[in-house]
A and B are shown apart, each in its own frame.
Chain A
Amino acid sequence: MIAAWRILHKDLVLELRTREALSGLIVLVLLILLTFTFALNPEGASAAAPAVQWVTFIFAGLMAIQRSFLIERENGAWYGLLLCPIDRGAIFVAKMASNVIVLGGAQVVLLALLVLFLGVSVPVAPFGLLFVNVLGLIGFAALATLFAAISVRLRAREMMLPLLVLPLLVPLVICAVEASRIVMAGGTIASAGPWVRVLVTFDVIFSVAGWMVFEQLVHE
């Protein structure tokens, strides 16, 4: 656990000193969102907001998570991590946690931009919206972190990460969009119950599975 914390601390310090990941991610989120607003009919734009939000988030997020592994390639940092006398699962936990934190920052900005550009009304009970977003964020980060560890060592890495992750993400996309639709319209978490339950299951299964199989991926 301490090992995971140390790696997370390293990633966060690195991010705080350079602000590379978050600033790039926020600009990318803004650009994808702008592209959507030009493509969408302004009349129905706010109804499409949950879908726009998650598609934007996923595509920008894939880039950011890929990057979190790419920076480890510089100066052989990755081999330094692997040589540490620690459980390899801790590397997964730390990488997933730092990705959750960076993507969480981008998601807050994304939600604000949705209010600004798509005319989404600020929800009366923001906790429901926050809860759904955190659940979607964790599940996405778990799956994408696991497969980024794979794709980063393939030749066609930019293409392979979305190929690997997008089909597996389908349950998360369906449930996050539907749950967001309900809470954005002012519904409670209870009324989004079935969707939220699938999201929680998804988060638990893939966080645990990622932690367990990560060892196999970095077996060298």
Chain B
Amino acid sequence: MNVHRRIAPFADRVLPLLATVAMLAALACIFLYVPNERVQGPVQRIFYFHVNCWWAAYLGFFIAAGSSALFLWRGGASYDRLAHAGVEVGILFCTMGLVTGPIWARPIWGTWWTWDPRLTMAVILWTIFAVYLVLRSGARDEPEISRYAAVLAVIGVLDIPLIMISVRLWRGIHPSVISAPANKGGLEDPRMVTGLLVALVAFSLLFLWLLWLRYEGLRLRDELHRLEDRMDESTR
């Protein structure tokens, strides 16, 4: 509760402002500052959003798994809410990544979708955490569901390396931009790196803000249920 009270003023007032400024700066970078990619042309500019969607999605899922593990280990409704918020925000960015990908792939690869390892991985991740939300939505006011959902999040993240290895063995055309050297498919212009970093900051801030909003939403919902129960008791 103490931590919550210390974070709240910052998260309520400063974070939205920072996220808005950073997002505007990122948009300016992407549309005005970074140069056109030599082969792909302006289509490549979606990269700055696409990559950062995945960053935020994975961040959300790993936060969810981490706080789920803490919840199973030590209990505590705040870990549970953080896990739930992490999956909700994570799946939002995961969906955005899945939408921005095909928009880029259609003109560049000539197809909306292929079963490349990273794409396969993305879809499986999406399904695992969509099921998490289905599980959560199934039952209201059931303390058991929290523990089931936590087990699913932990097992889901344990599964990630196995999925990665098996889909890589299975099929292998997605460009590796970040890890590739500059002259072999990496980012050639230093302005591109700047653009990517600004967008990274913007997405991270947006992520944190959304995570906070969802966390607060879930906390207020629990509070409301508690008050409703109390009212029922007193009228009885």
Task: Give residues in A with beta carbon < 8 Å to B.
Answer: 143, 146-147, 150, 153-156, 160, 163-164, 166-168, 170-171, 174-175, 178, 194-195, 198, 201-202, 205-206, 209, 213, 216-217, 219-220
Contact = CB atoms under 8 A, between A and B. Distances in A.
Interface of B: 72, 124, 127-128, 131, 134-135, 138-139, 144, 147-148, 150-152, 154-156, 158-159, 162-163, 165-167, 169-170
Nearest to B147: A216
Nearest to B169: A194
A167 B162 contact: no
Given A146-B155, A174-B167, A206-B155, A164 B131 contact: yes
Given A171-B163, A174-B166, A213-B151, A156 B138 contact: yes
B148 A202 contact: no
B162 A202 contact: yes
Nearest to B156: A168
Contacts of B156: 167-168
Main DSSP-derived SS at the A contact region: helix
Nearest to B150: A216
Contacts of A154: 135, 138-139, 148
Contact of A150 (B148, B158, B159, B170): B148
A209 to B, nearest CB: 6
Contacts of B151: 146, 150, 213, 216-217
A206 B162 CA distance: 11
A217 B147 contact: yes
B170 A155 contact: no
Contacts of B159: 168, 171
B158 A205 contact: yes
B44 to A, nearest CB: 31
A164 B152 contact: yes
B165 A198 contact: yes
Given A174-B166, A198-B169, A219 B147 contact: yes
A209 B158 contact: yes
A79 to B, nearest CB: 15
Contacts of A213: 72, 151, 154-155
Contacts of B150: 216
26 contacts: A146-B151, A147-B152, A153-B144, A154-B148, A160-B135, A160-B138, A163-B135, A164-B152, A167-B124, A167-B127, A168-B128, A168-B155, A168-B156, A168-B159, A170-B166, A171-B159, A171-B165, A171-B167, A178-B170, A195-B169, A198-B162, A202-B162, A213-B72, A213-B155, A216-B72, A217-B151
Given A153-B144, A213-B72, 15 more contacts: A146-B151, A150-B152, A154-B139, A154-B148, A156-B138, A160-B138, A164-B152, A167-B131, A170-B166, A171-B163, A171-B167, A216-B72, A217-B147, A217-B151, A219-B147
A147 B148 CA distance: 9
A156 B151 CA distance: 18
Contacts of B144: 153, 220
A108 B131 CA distance: 32
A145 to B, nearest CB: 12
A198 B72 contact: no
B135 A175 contact: no
A103 to B, nearest CB: 20
B148 A170 contact: no
Contacts of A178: 169-170
Contacts of B72: 213, 216
